[in-house]
Chains A and B, each alone.
Chain A
């Protein structure tokens, strides 16, 4: 029976391995994501979550395995995938307005841009207002904005290209706690409004559980039937895949017992180097979760 998964999901990742030299980073990753989902990916530092994002983005290539977007193999970065980095998302030499306009101007010729000048500026201003920046900020340069404002501009800049999926790599990682929470709520609002699919990488467990509708935990702390020892070059796997309550519109949920319990579970499964689950026992109960272990990873006993 042919595998129909690539066509049924917006994003489908199948048997991805990523190695840097001898160092295995991503070890047989499988995942599929439905359109409209706000997926968060957590994991200890160095587990390869940013690498996974860069693979989906097309900035780097997997050592082996396939990534499908809308059923088609992905290539180099293009307008299908938008991105917001922790830093360097904005072009430092352009004003806020020009930064956001770029998504409309870059794909077009100079003549077309001239003809549509007013239209493009109107559209960009619309997106800038959507991310709660005022008209006074339009002609400021990125260095004149606070970190939180810069990230909001970066979101507007990504939105104007109408990507199929928005990839965010620790977008709020460099912000202070208040700004961070404000931007989390703000992102949820934008996500609901725009009916977007978001792939959100963070090292902050609470953030991931708070904003996501689905949360993956990526970790190198697990075991399987390949045995132990230095010759076994294990990389990170998805060790947990949870469905989360649709939308937390208030930060009060962070104090709810169930929320705290979930965070504790994932902290143990992914962040505790001494807690080694077997690969076949991972909590992958999410309806879209799937896992194909190799014969070495799961040896059948007779």
Chain B
């Protein structure tokens, strides 16, 4: 029987697997092609062009940054930058997730805590984190602490509000049920509700990773001696697009990878999550 579904257009379209892959790669192919053509045109005018480096220039730059020891420090710069950035990012995100989880969960479950904290958290969440970066540098110094704090301050209100809403959406029957099974109030919160919102916490982290990178790179750009953001802003002074572009791509790939890992983790360890 001939399928009545169109291949590509309309509400009922059912693109085949191969067509799907082709369509998904189309934006990438177009983007790369446009860049290569534009770069080629510029290089015909001026072989030394720095604004749109050719692929070979970028390969050279990556080889220099990632696979050759730095003459001054004896280290692989891109690896060092990546490690210090990821350390800050991980610390910031984990601390923010922890604070956000506890705040959101307890505010949603205990009306007394909600009355005390809810408007405060909402208020804090309205502060643009970058605007208080100078305050952080003045108060806690320009060390790691300032960069980690910026991520924490930027992320925890968002996560706690998301967790709060998720907990509020759980049916009250669950709480009543747990009480009839002999749960104490704390057991309801930490043994019945908490495990049910962990996958949502992971989703929430996924969604806020973009913001976390933003805060990280901003603080590294302003005061740091290593890190991906530091390097990008350092080489900007020499118009070194051949380094900047691979670094940006690398940050993007890392972000994509974490997103995929977290999504995989939710599907693997919380099989019930998307079914309820």
**Which residue numbers of A lie inside 8 Å of B, CB to CB?**
57, 59, 76-79, 81-83, 85, 87-89, 91-93, 102-103, 106-107, 141-143, 157-158, 161, 163
User: B187 — nearest CB in chain A belongs to which residue?
Assistant: A106
In the complex, which of the residues A89, A91, A107 contacts B182, with contact meaning CB atoms closer than 8 Å? A107
In the complex, which of the residues B172, B174, B184, B271 contacts A141, with contact meaning CB atoms closer than 8 Å? B271
Are A88 and B171 touching (Cβ within 8 A)? yes
B10 to A: closest C-beta gap in Å: 32
A127 to B: closest C-beta gap in Å: 13
- Known A93-B272, A143-B275: A106·B191 in contact at CB below 8 Å: yes
Q: 9 A-B contacts, Cβ less than 8 Å apart?
A: A57-B176, A92-B272, A93-B195, A102-B178, A106-B187, A107-B183, A142-B272, A157-B181, A161-B180
- Known A91-B196, A93-B195, A141-B271: A103·B181 in contact at CB below 8 Å: yes
In the complex, which of the residues A78, A87, A93, A106 contacts B196, with contact meaning CB atoms closer than 8 Å? A93
B interface residue count range (under 10 / 10 to 19 / 20 to 34 / 35 or more): 20 to 34
Are B179 and A76 touching (Cβ within 8 A)? yes
A23 to B: closest C-beta gap in Å: 20
Are B181 and A57 touching (Cβ within 8 A)? no
Are A77 and B174 touching (Cβ within 8 A)? no
Are A88 and B181 touching (Cβ within 8 A)? no
B176 partner residues in chain A, CB cutoff 8 A: 57, 59, 77, 83
Pick from A81, A143, A158 the residue with the most CB of B within 10 Å: A143
Q: Tell whether B45 is near chain A: CB-to-CB under 8 Å.
A: no
Q: Tell whether B41 is near chain A: CB-to-CB under 8 Å.
A: no
Pick from A87, A88, A157, A161 the residue with the most CB of B within 10 Å: A88
User: B173 — nearest CB in chain A belongs to which residue?
Assistant: A88
A301 to B173, CA, bound (A): 48
Closest 9 CB pairs of A and B: A107-B182, A143-B275, A77-B179, A88-B173, A106-B183, A92-B276, A88-B171, A103-B181, A141-B272
A161 partner residues in chain B, CB cutoff 8 A: 180-182
Are A89 and B195 touching (Cβ within 8 A)? no
User: A163 — nearest CB in chain B belongs to which residue?
Assistant: B180
Are B181 and A106 touching (Cβ within 8 A)? yes
Are A57 and B180 touching (Cβ within 8 A)? yes
- Known A88-B171, A91-B196: A103·B182 in contact at CB below 8 Å: yes
A102 partner residues in chain B, CB cutoff 8 A: 178, 181, 183
Are A141 and B181 touching (Cβ within 8 A)? no
Are A93 and B173 touching (Cβ within 8 A)? no
